[in-house]
Amino acid sequence: MNIQDIKQRFEIIGNSPLLNIALETAVKVAPTDITVLINGESGVGKEAFSKIIHALSNRKHGPFIAVNCGAIPEGTIDSELFGHEKGSFTGASDTRKGYFETVNGGTIFLDEVGELPLETQARLLRVLESGEFIKVGSSKTQKTDVRVVAATNKDLLALSDNGKFREDLYYRLSTVPIKVPPLRERKEDIHLLFRKFAADFAEKYRSKPIVLDAEAQQLLINNRFPGNIRQLKNIAEQLSVLDDDKNITANELMRVLPAERSTVPMLFDGGQDKTGLSERDIFYKVLFDLRKDMNDLKGIVFGMLQNGTAPENINPESYAQPFAHAYNPTPQPAPIYATQTQVYTQQPPSNNNSNIIEIPDAQPVIESLSLEDKEIELIKKALDKYNGKRKKAAAELGISERTLYRKIKQYDLE
């Protein structure tokens, strides 16, 4: 069966090269029992590929079930997938078969597999490796013959690096990976899909199909579609229902297109990192940015002093010394003078003070640039500010209370 026959049978619209590659891979792997991992953003049609794989496999006469792992509560997902024995937990009034038992001989599609809890991932790995599972509350091992097709819109390797997904399970699932392209990478297919949806909704609502003018077509094609095919279908339905004039202009299309969302990542969200940076990395970044801003500010003031444009109440000597090195590539170390109460890097003002002592070999005190020292200093200041109340101190530092507790133990700040 060639690709065009597959598209016609399963109502796949589009001629994108990336789409064709994904379909060819699905057709080739379908007759085997190899586990498949379908990667793609939300709304690209990953479930359609799982149905193609099942329909073209030797299990096509067996059962097929699609399970959304993200929609099942963590406390019941083991029971849903593997079943449970009567009395194994509160509310387990009867023995129940799980999906891996009822779909024996068929195919199970695990959508959003990245949402599985780690304990469930361990159970799934055992099924994939040996075909065995144990019901919740049982000690009896059972066998099953089920082909697993999984799908995700997340980077499972990145989750694995953060300890949220088992690396061995990832490699077991992705024996053959299939990448379903997002709609923005299939621009040549966007208008074809829109016309198909417009015709379907015209038949559903018994009206004329909507038609886009040239400017509206170009606007549609250039949209990013974060919701992919699902979003495009919603737009077609809105226009089919709400627009009396079935000839759609760019202005009319603009009214139903969502505003572009910002793609700037947030550094903080309740103490949880969203960019792959650890809390420690973010903490250091804030410190360095603050230091750079202060140096920039001092540089501006010193430039004003050099040009004679500084306000009268600014003492040039208080700013000139820290930046002398910037204008003198080979600065000479200045002698240090000391009294009982003060230290000078220049000759102190003459006040006939006999206690002034010149220290010719002394060096200015260099501020510590150790990141660890800075972190300890800020943690101490935050704890002192809030009289040892860790919750408030953690909020002040922009980290979680749990992380603060760990750092207090690490630096022995009890």
d(CA 319, CA 316): 6
Q: How many helices (H) and strands (E) does the chain have?
A: 18, 12
pLDDT digits (tens, 9 = 90+) for 202-239: 999 999 999 999 999 999 999 999 999 999 999 999 99
Domain residue ranges in the chain: 3-181, 184-254, 371-410
> b/e for 199-217, b at 16 or more Cβ within 10 A?
eebbeeeeeeebebeeebb
| 3-181: CATH topology | Rossmann fold (3.40.50)
> Per-residue pLDDT tens for 352-405?
554 554 445 545 555 566 777 888 888 888 888 888 888 888 888 888 887 888
From the candidate CATH numbers 1.10.10, 2.60.40, 1.10.357, 3.40.1000, the one assigned to the domain spanning 371-410: 1.10.10
pLDDT the model gives residue 372? 79
CA distance 219 to 212: 10
Q: What six digits make up the tokens of 36?
A: 């498949």
Tokens at 357, concatenated: 């002592």
**What is the rounded CA–CA span in Å between residue 413 and residue 175?**
49
Check: CB of residue 110 under 8 Å from CB of residue 58.
Answer: no
Q: Burial, 226: exposed, middle or buried (Cβ in 10 Å; 0-12, 13-18, 19+)?
A: middle
Q: Which of 228, 191, 227, 186 is nearest to 211 (CA)?
A: 191
Residue type, 170: Y
- Please count the other Cβ atoms lying within 10 Å of the Cβ belonging to residue 321: 14
Cα separation, 9 vs 5, in Å, equals: 6
Q: Smallest Cα–Cα separation from 23: which of 177, 229, 244, 180?
A: 180
pLDDT of residue 367: 59
What is the C-alpha separation between 371 and 379, in angstroms, rounded?
Answer: 12
Residue whose tokens read 């040039």: 316
Residue 103 confidence (pLDDT): 96
CA angle 20, 23, 27 (to 5 degrees): 135
Q: Residue 298 phi/psi, 5° resolution?
A: -65, -40
CB atoms inside a 10 Å sphere around CB 385:
12
Contact 127, 142 (CB under 8 A): no
What span, in angstroms and rounded, lies between the C-alpha atoms of 90 and 44?
A: 39
Residues of the chain with pLDDT under 50: 262-276, 319-330, 332, 336, 338-345, 354, 357-359, 362
Distance CA 229, CA 235 (A): 10
- pLDDT confidence of residue 284: 60
pLDDT value, residue 359: 47
Return the pLDDT at 352: 52
Q: What is the pLDDT of residue 263?
A: 44
Could you give the CA distance from residue 398 to residue 13 in angstroms, rounded to a whole number? 48
> Of 1.10.8.60, 2.30.30.30, 3.40.309.10, 3.30.450.20, which CATH number belongs to 184-254?
1.10.8.60
Buried-exposed string 145-178: b where 16+ CB fall within 10 A, e elsewhere: ebbbbbbbbeebeebbeeebbbeebbebbbebeb
The dihedral formed by the CA atoms of 282, 286, 291 and 296, expressed in degrees to the nearest 10: 120
